[in-house]
Amino acid sequence: MNFRLESDSIGSKQVPMEAYYGVQTLRCAENFKITGLGMLKEFIKSLAEIKKAAAITNNEVGLLDKKIEEAIIVACDEIIEGKLQDQFIVDPIQGGAGTSMNMNSNEVIANRAIEILGGQKGDYSIVHPNDHINYGQSTNDVIPTAGKMTALKLIPKAIAELSKLYDAFNEKSKEFDDVIKMGRTQMQDAIPIRLGQEFKAYSSVIRRDILRLEKAKEELKVVNMGGTAIGTGMNADIQYFNKIVPNISKISNIELKQAIDLIDATQNLDGFVIVSSVIKACAVNLSKIANDLRLMSSGPRTGFGEINLPSKQNGSSMMPGKVNPVIPEVISQVAFNIIGNDITITMAAEAGQLELNAFEPVIFYNLFQSIETLTNGVNTFVVNCVSGITANRERCKELVENSVGIITAICPHIGYKKAAEIAKIALNSKQSVRELILKDGILSENELNDILDIELMTKPGILAKELMVV
């Protein structure tokens, strides 16, 4: 392999001749072998969009030669299209508040622009990573802006999958609307509910999660570009300062707003904490639903057995015929991971000191992972689980009829004390509530049938006055 010699403030170092990255990127790659992963492609694209906007803005205000601007634009467009991805070699978790990420993009863009202008990679007298690509910028405004842009690109995908889940639960709520089953509180028999009502409640909470995510996007649209190192805007031309955010918005098709207080926006990362908490809340809701589906499908013969989940794979290497609820299980694991990520994001945001928070890399690593795993988890939840759920209608009916819980529907008609006596006898004798009431002539069969009507038991209604106990 042939090498070229590059130098920085640390000293000189050999860089592979064909590499578009340079000496600073190479040092970073050697220093931070943490996850073994690369930067997210959407994040690389966001960096290129920022650098393209900066070049255009610097040319507009007379601070960058037109030929250099054009070469930078071509290089950035290539990266935006997905080229040169293998040249972004720094680990997503790194020291230096993201300087490694920023310099990786500066060097790759500079060397590609040098090539476009007919020079040799590494000849920074033609296009310089700092003096041209990074002109008017700092890692401290580029990286948080790129992080917010990336999250804004990922969240709509999550919302799209959640919308499909919302629709799937709604469809199931209609399909199961006539299925009466036993409701449970604290894992004990409570009062009847329609299976469709349970699934409608699932759609309602997912809808709430979607609305929260839509609102959370507004937190990410406020950026500190133009603030440079600590928010004071040092080394940023006033015209550049006023134009950079509108130009980034135009290039990225993302509606961004420059923060009113750039020092605050550079110091504080509470916006990421809010977005992470919204994602966490969604994950908690999904895991709760997954828990419910596992319980309702438990058995199939010795558990609740009220619903059937689609069989997706063998459940045991030892027990023939066993099928496990693998999709709800993976949803809970996604949720556990997101909750852990949220703790990391919270602590990293808290750890900022004075004018800067140096821990943005780990925030982005965890936030992007949370959004992506949420998106992928919801996709498999819809496709491989929810859409294929079926109800065991007879089993649901059997559990209701044999439950003491229906006494609650009868309570307003015979009084709490009498109802409690019947419930106690039913539990001890294994007789049904219906049998005991009819046997003792407490209510007629017609009266009892009216009271235990599916509609009356699962929604508010007007009790027949002649049956009410005053």
Single-letter residue type at 280: K
For tokens 């580029």, the residue is 142
Using alpha carbons, select from 408, 273, 410 the residue that is nearest to residue 344: 273
The length of the chain in residues reads 470
Taking the C-alpha atoms of residue 349 and residue 8, their distance in angstroms, rounded to an integer, is 31
3-7 and 188-194: which strand pairing?
Answer: unpaired
Q: 413 with 433: CB under 8 angstroms? A: no
Taking the C-alpha atoms of residue 311 and residue 320, their distance in angstroms, rounded to an integer, is 14
Q: Cβ contacts of residue 235 below 8 Å, gap of 6+? A: 136, 138, 228
- E strands present in 220-263: 222-223, 257-258
Using alpha carbons, select from 231, 248, 221 the residue that is nearest to residue 58: 248
Using alpha carbons, select from 23, 2, 3 the residue that is nearest to residue 13: 23
Q: Cβ contacts of residue 343 below 8 Å, gap of 6+? A: none
Taking the C-alpha atoms of residue 347 and residue 357, their distance in angstroms, rounded to an integer, is 11
Tokens representing residue 207 in the block = 């809808």
Task: Give the relative orientation of helices 360-384 and 139-175 as an angle to the nearest 10 degrees.
Answer: 20
Name the 3-class secondary structure at 158: helix
Taking the C-alpha atoms of residue 23 and residue 5, their distance in angstroms, rounded to an integer, is 8
> What one-character-per-residue DSSP string does 363-402 give?
HHHHHHHHHHHHHHHHHHHHHHTGGG-EE-HHHHHHHHHT
Taking the C-alpha atoms of residue 7 and residue 30, their distance in angstroms, rounded to an integer, is 16
Q: 434 with 445: CB under 8 angstroms? A: no
Tokens representing residue 257 in the block = 């707003």
Q: 240 with 63: CB under 8 angstroms? A: yes
Tokens representing residue 358 in the block = 């140096």
Positions marked catalytic: 316
For tokens 């000191």, the residue is 353
